[in-house]
Chain A
Amino acid sequence: MRRLTLLATAALFLAATPACKRQTAKVETIENEQPQLASAISAGDPAHAVQFVQGFYDIEQGSWRWTRGKFSLTLQAPPGAAQKGAALELKFSLPEAVVKKVGPVTLSAVFDGNPLPSEKYGKDGEQVYQRDIPAGLFRGPSVNIEFSLDKFLAAGAVEERELGIIVQSAALLAK
């Protein structure tokens, strides 16, 4: 009984040792904002995260993001795009699980409301979607690009999330 009492006392003492209310620790934020959007963005870079607008899941392994069936992003027009046009480039990976389950996948894009030619991908692995964008489509400093897949893994098919492709980067390259 004495040992039990000792035990309880020791536990209470240890618990009460730091019994003075400490100031809640501070976690600093990053306030110095980048002045403008980037024309080339990496899925794994938190500094670019705000430009991955919709349909992207969390950054994984610091380098890529799963998408849903529809996803969109915003890019800064590169210098001279309004005069010479630019090239849109989306680097992604088509996972084996997606191809096995749904077969070839067609990726379509709408550039600031203007549909771009779509492309069909039948093999899994690294892929690039690349399109020339005429100068006339650049009407402002930045553009919104909406992508959609004709087939993707519905929520619950493989995991609970709806899954499309794995995006690594997107860019508007100056000509």
Chain B
Amino acid sequence: MSRSRFFVLWLAASLFCLWLYWPGMKCWFQQDDFAWLGLGLNVHTPAGLLDALFAPKAQGTIRPWSERAFFMGFFALFGLDALPYRILVFTTQVANLGLLIAISRRVTGSTLAAALAPLFWTANAALGLPMSWTSAYNQILCATFLLGAFYCLLRWTESGAWRWYAAQWTVFLLGFGALEINVVYPAIAAAYALLASRRHFVLTLPLFAASGAYAILHRSLAPGTREGPYAMHFDGSLLSTLATYWYGAFGTARLASLEVPPWLSAAGLVTPWILSAALGAFLAVRLRRGQWAVLWPLAWFLAVIGPVLPLRDHISDYYNAIPTLGLAVLGAWVFAAAWEMRLAGKAAAVLAAGLYLATSAPVARATVRYNFERSRAVRNLVLGVARAHEIHPGKVILLNGVGTDRFWAGMNDKPFRLLGIGDVWLTPGSESTIQAFPALGDVNQFVYPAAATLRALREHRAVVYEAAGPRLQNVTQTYANMAPLRLKATLPGHIDAGNPAFADQLGEGWYQAEGGYRWMAKRASLRLGVASPGGLRLFLKGFCPTTQLSGGPLHLQVFIDGQAYPPVAVSRPDEEFSFSFALPAVLKNKDFVEVVLEVDRTVVPPADGRKLGLAFGNFALRRP
């Protein structure tokens, strides 16, 4: 393929991508984005930076290029201006399309297939989320590393130049910093060598050693979970999960939930079957002719989807984003082969491709549109709060009517700390209108206590904003008028010890709140509200500076409703600690429990003079 033809195809694919996902360019931040954006806030030392970049995070992920360095670096450069982040995502995807064209041309030998593969992949619904949610950039960047490494392999097999072999290794190894799925690259490379370039097969085997070493390192740093959605199941469910991903790979699974004509919805149901049959027939014919290379795109799909198959209880549409790249190549190959047939073959190819594009692209577009609107609502909430803070500096900001979607997309991951705003809360009672998702967090932790609300309103220390509309509306006076009617000063089931608003719930033995924590003396007490007893546990979190452990581990004993629990040891310096205790089966009081904390010794810092036990952040009663 000539260079000019390559650039024309690349431009066409890029423009199609830009057109289909344009709302994704204008998306703002949501959900995990805020957690990643805030990663650098606590980095003050080189060691802290290394920890922020490489220490395993949620579900044991270590993704410095696609998440940590990306978000930390861009936040330092651009703050909460989302456009540069989105430009990088789109630029990376454009690079992917170029690589895909070059690879498809070499694997299939067809320029037509090289032109269609990026279009088919772009139109796949699985790309909707990665193209509209910045936290899913790992999918896009991982594809770049996999495609880049494989492109180098192809150039090496063609030219025999060792610099391409070395480049393949470099790109492959760097890919581990994008996404763990990179571990499957050796299978992709070996499959190609085995099927299309057998004399290079042996030299793909060392790649497995690198993946093996990474897998061992990853498992040692981030052991897998045995419970919850991320538990792995190696049983018959592997096949059913594979079937789900295969069916979903044609992008039509969510079509029925969109407002589309009934005929299109019905077409979406049969499309996976028709296209599967077409792919199967093509493979059968070519394999009978001994053209084993046609299996390689299928091998790509199976290799990349393989690692998520044991996650039976965590099936996500966007996990298909990289695997479907292989199916796009295969589909384009089938189309190019049919195009060489008579009119009936050409017509069937156009019909099948049209069916796929008409049923998958609308789902991709709807996903992007949904994330665009969702993220803009979050933007109005977060930047609205920033404006409210500017107008009412120093006041507690209470948000009413936030609702389920905006809470989980725009408040749960604490975006306000990125703007240096601390006191932003939900109005009491908001928790009743926000759907609970215990796996994501606890709404109650964000609710300002009723008694503190009444007091803050009385003393003009709080402003209340209604968040149900597109813009925040100041309703302080209206809310203050209604507050005595609507608020019962019940005791919350949680305490943010570092926040003076919760001081009512603390008994003796506490010092003033400082820096988000509150120190206890040798013995301290508190009171937590019980809304509905049964199965509750007390969860507590705190922080232990090195000075407290100069005499060895510190022992903390907890008494709940007078019942003593076995002491627990706090032994890790300069780290957060957390413990949980089951509540007694029978409580003395219906509405609350008394908790007493006692440490076996205190430390008196010379410049301080106070007898300090431990510093506490949160206490909460909840079900595990």
Contact = CB atoms under 8 A, between A and B. Distances in A.
A33 B482 contact: no
A30 B471 contact: yes
Nearest to B403: A58
A1 B102 CA distance: 12
B387 A26 contact: yes
Interface string A50-67: 111111111100000000
Interface stretch (B77-85, B247-255, B263-271, B312-320): B77-85
A53 B430 CA distance: 9
Of all A-B residue pairs in the complex, the 3 with the closest CB atoms, nearest first, are A46-B469, A49-B468, A58-B403
Most buried by B among A1, A25, A26, A27: A27
B84 A30 contact: no
Nearest to A52: B401
A50 B383 contact: no
B471 A28 contact: yes
A46 B88 CA distance: 36
Contact of B478 (A1, A4, A28, A33): A33
A144 B471 contact: no
Given A33-B474, A50-B478, A27 B163 contact: no
B80 A24 contact: yes
Given A15-B91, A30-B472, A55 B481 contact: no
B148 interface: yes
A157 interface: no
B471 A58 contact: no
Given A33-B475, A59-B468, A142-B485, A24 B163 contact: no
Chain A: interface size category: 35 or more
A46 B84 contact: no
Contacts of A33: 473-478
A161 B433 CA distance: 9
Contact of A55 (B94, B151, B432, B472): B432
Given A29-B473, A46-B473, A72-B486, 13 more contacts: A15-B84, A22-B81, A24-B386, A27-B386, A29-B471, A30-B474, A33-B474, A33-B475, A33-B477, A36-B481, A47-B466, A50-B479, A57-B404
Given A25-B81, A30-B471, A33-B474, A4 B485 contact: no
Interface string A137-154: 000011110000000000
Contacts of B478: 33-34, 36-37, 50-51
Contacts of B429: 53-54
B404 A58 contact: yes
Contacts of B152: 4
B91 A14 contact: yes
A134 B472 CA distance: 37
A47 to B, nearest CB: 7
Interface string B402-420: 0111000000000000010
A11 B485 contact: no
Contact of A57 (B81, B99, B433): B433
Interface in A129-171: 141-144, 160-161
Nearest to A67: B433
Most buried by B among A28, A56, A142, A144: A28
A174 interface: no
B543 interface: no
A47 B95 CA distance: 47
Contacts of B464: 50
A54 B152 CA distance: 61
A1 B155 contact: yes
B295 interface: no
Contacts of B88: 11, 14-15
Contacts of B379: 27
Contact of B468 (A36, A46, A142): A46
Contact of B383 (A18, A24, A57, A160): A24
B117 to A, nearest CB: 17
Contacts of A142: 481-482, 485
Given A28-B387, A57-B404, A49 B469 contact: yes
A4 B166 CA distance: 14
Contacts of A31: 391, 474
B233 to A, nearest CB: 23
A39 interface: no
A45 to B, nearest CB: 8
Interface in B418-449: 419, 429, 432-433, 435
Contacts of B87: 14-15, 17-18
B39 interface: no
Contacts of A7: 95, 98-99
Given A28-B387, A142-B485, A18 B91 contact: no
Interface string B515-555: 00000000000000000000000000000000000000000
Interface in B447-474: 464-466, 468-474
Given A30-B472, A33-B478, A142-B481, A4 B151 contact: yes
Interface in B379-407: 379-380, 383-384, 386-388, 391, 400-401, 403-405
A4 B479 CA distance: 61
A51 B469 contact: no
Contacts of A50: 400-401, 464, 466, 475, 478-479, 482
Nearest to A140: B485
Contacts of A117: none
Nearest to B437: A160
B311 interface: no
A160 B486 CA distance: 26
Given A11-B92, A18-B87, A55-B432, A27 B466 contact: no
